[in-house]
Chains A and B, each alone.
Chain A
Amino acid sequence: MSDARRRVVRQPFDGWRWAGRLTILFLLVFTVLPMAWMVLTSIKTQFAALQYPPQWWPTEPTLANYWRLINPADSTGREFLRYFANSFFVSLTTTVLGVVVAVPAAYAFSRFRFPGRQMLFFAVLVRNMFPAVVFLMPLFLLMRWLGLVNTHGSLILTYLTFGLPLSIWLLKGFFDNIPVQLEQAARIDGATRFQAFLLIMTPLATPGIIATSIFSFIGAWNEYVYAYTFLSKQDQMTLPVGIQRFFTEFATDWPGLMAATFLMSVPVVVLFLILQTYFVRALTEGAVKH
């Protein structure tokens, strides 16, 4: 353990440490300023939020905006909780299905040599290159034809394709880095190709699976344009669409919106916090092995 730490401490930027520290400081301020303002606004009353010169710290901070959103007794709270549940369901399903679809495909692109391999791989990447906004109408028609309008299925199906290119690329990279000997050893021991894939390779690619899951989940969680096109029933709506309701033609509830946005961001930030340490550590161990 100490060996590893010593190795890690001697990184190439010794002389540049100060440049590094300045960079971090700058990035911290850059990142945090808008977020801080968002949080400060969320604890103000509506009237206070609209004052100019702006109140830096509210004279009467209140958690009422937050309480209203998570309180099942309040109609706003009920709706917000429902949006939360919907978002969670859609994002989780998209992520799980995404993994189930992407892992075999990535493995195939990594290990197998079949005709059309490169072309198909490129075709996978191509999806991200078409402006998503333009697909709104044809996709709606398609969902209508499949009977998925106003269901979460339409979103899950759409989001799957958003995430697949990145997932497959990332996972292919992971599989590429795992030595073939492991599978070969398993095959010699009598495992089929599929068993080797499922029982040996997939677990080894866990860091990659976690990384792609995070990206998938976040993408689905924050997606707005398709969610509002495909869903018109309020009880189906996901968070990004639901919190839009804090903005109407005539009535803008800034503190409410900021509080809602904060609550909406909490799960994904927490997810990142927990899982990123895990996967970076796993990555480090993977690199050290060689």
Chain B
Amino acid sequence: MEKSHDRAFAAGWPLRRCALAMGLAVSLTTSVAHAQSVDLSKWSTEYIRSIAGTEEVDTAAECSKVVPLDYKGRVSVWWTGPNDASPDISRQVHEQFWAAFKAAYRNIALDYQNIDYNQLIDKLRTATLGNAAPMVVRLQILGSVEFASKGYFMPLKPEDVGYSSADFWPGAMKSVRYQGVSYGIPTNNETMGLIWNADIFNRAGLDPEHPPATWNDVVAYSKQIHDKLGVAGYGLVAKQNAGNTPFRFMPELWAFGGGALDEASDKPTYKKVEIGNDGSKAALQSIYDMYVRDKSAPVSALTNTQDENQNPFIAGRLGMMIAHPAEYAKMVDLASKATGADKAVADQVVRNMRYGLIPKGPVRRAVVFGGSNIHIIKTDYVDGGLDEKAAKALICFWTGPEWSTKLAWVDSNPSNLRGFKTKWMKERLASIKFLDVTTSMLPDGIPFPVIPESTEIMNIIVPDMMQNVLTQKMSVSEAADDAAKKVQGLLDGQ
């Protein structure tokens, strides 16, 4: 756990600030009991359960200290919320949120827009270009740095809305800093886990209650499932231009000791290219073995997004896959709505779903630190100008322990560590199976490199590299070196 602290606090800062970072990290670690409400060094399933329900929260009262409750103004916000394919409780919780905010701040006019995950960033790009952006935007973690680097965001940190930086996940705080300045506040964080079908494991002669422990085991399990049962083992995802792909491959890359840049190291500089190193090549070799040599991954991996793994999983034709907690929730929700003959099949699937830790590699266990951050956009780019106080009021509500927890009900975790102490956390732990699995992996989370070129590296260069290997267009070595050349070119400003 110590390691993750150092890595977390020092990461993202330029080399010359390392000394300062070290000093700060040391002082923060020692004073953690005071500044931080939750003791990350004790993080475990038991600890999580023990602190849940130990703190009462009155969001309106807390936020009234930042912006008075009778403040008159307006606020506009874009975010990705639930749609009608999401579980009902997601929708309900969001409606409650808006109702609560309106009740607390009666004189702030609210304009909120729920925009699809795949479209939000593009829309924000065009909007900022045309000075038609909203005041507040909640973006997924990979998307923020581009706008911060272009100077669209107002500097913002938890202290600005009455919270403490120490009360947020260190990895998350890393993701909102650009060149030493904080431009946002994390709202929720999550990691993915491994879902597997216990029945398939059982029939293939594998232990149904435990996931493969290492990535090498994944390859072996996958082969066994395919050879014995004729169905696909591991749900590999390798589509180009798709965000799912890096979220599932990078953990493997990091586990073997590779990486895009040095984002997995204790003190990343984001200047060293690691995608061509031996660890990366080992990871590539691993997927090559599964897809080409053993043919134990779905043939459609090259054009699949994670959505397309859900069908076969539900139909019992896929052994295991890396999945976001929301997918698990969705499948449970789907099953609960099945009727008649379908109900038997559905219940069987749910009974056999297991959720566990992502496998380890020779170097580490790693998972992508996912989540969202909320930002304020500078007034020049906002449609109608910025109402800073109203924006802060909204953000105070959104990132407080109560709503940080509730809004993340089905598929995520609060970024605000105090959220883990609320009674709602207790309720979630009781009602959502396997929540403690994804929660316990949060300290293993590594965020993507916090540079504006990150989206290109993750969504284009990495999948291209994978596809070059899987279609055998290039050998493992060639593909890795080719990717390394491209990443270096990016850093050199090409």
A and B touch in the complex (CB under 8 A): yes
Q: Is the CB of A234 within 8 A of B114?
A: yes
Residue A75 lies at the interface, judged by CB distance under 8 Å to chain B: yes
Identify the interface centre among A75, A251, A256: most chain B CB within 10 Å of its CB: A251
Cα A250 to Cα B117 in complex, Å, equals 10
219-260 of chain B: CB within 8 A of chain A? 243
Closest residue on chain A to residue B127 by CB atoms = A232
Residue B314 lies at the interface, judged by CB distance under 8 Å to chain A: yes
With A140-B126, A144-B130, A229-B122 in contact, do A251 and B330 touch (Cβ < 8 Å)? yes
Q: Is the CB of B132 within 8 A of A248?
A: no
Q: Is the CB of A250 within 8 A of B122?
A: no
Identify the interface centre among A140, A144, A246, A250: most chain B CB within 10 Å of its CB: A250
Q: Is the CB of B324 within 8 A of A228?
A: no
Residue B118 lies at the interface, judged by CB distance under 8 Å to chain A: yes
Partner of B116, one of A140, A150, A233, A248: A248
Residue A192 lies at the interface, judged by CB distance under 8 Å to chain B: no
Residue B312 lies at the interface, judged by CB distance under 8 Å to chain A: yes
Residue B326 lies at the interface, judged by CB distance under 8 Å to chain A: yes
Q: Which among A4-12, A41-49, A107-115, A279-287 touches the partner chain?
A: A41-49
Please, which residues of chain B bring their CB within 8 A of the CB of A3?
none
Q: Which among B20-28, B35-43, B174-182, B331-339 touches the partner chain?
A: B331-339
Closest residue on chain A to residue B343 by CB atoms = A47
Cα A141 to Cα B127 in complex, Å, equals 9
> How many residues in A have their beta carbons less than 8 Å from beta carbons of B?
36
With A47-B338, A251-B330 in contact, do A232 and B115 touch (Cβ < 8 Å)? yes
Q: Is the CB of A46 within 8 A of B334?
A: yes
Please, which residues of chain A bring their CB within 8 A of the CB of B364?
none
Partner of A251, one of B86, B122, B127, B338: B86
Q: Is the CB of A250 within 8 A of B411?
A: yes
Please, which residues of chain A bring their CB within 8 A of the CB of B118?
249
Partner of B78, one of A79, A232, A246, A250: A232
With A52-B311, A234-B114 in contact, do A253 and B345 touch (Cβ < 8 Å)? no
Contact indicator per residue, chain A 211-241, by CB within 8 Å of chain B (1) or not (0): 0000000000000000011001110000000
Partner of B346, one of A47, A136, A144, A233: A47
Q: Nearest 9 pairs between A and B by C-beta?
A: A144-B130, A251-B85, A253-B85, A47-B338, A250-B326, A52-B315, A47-B342, A249-B117, A50-B311
Residues of B participating in the A interface, judged by any CB pair closer than 8 Å: 78, 83-86, 113-119, 122-123, 126-127, 129-132, 243, 306-307, 310-312, 314-315, 317, 324, 326-327, 330, 334-335, 337-342, 345-346, 411
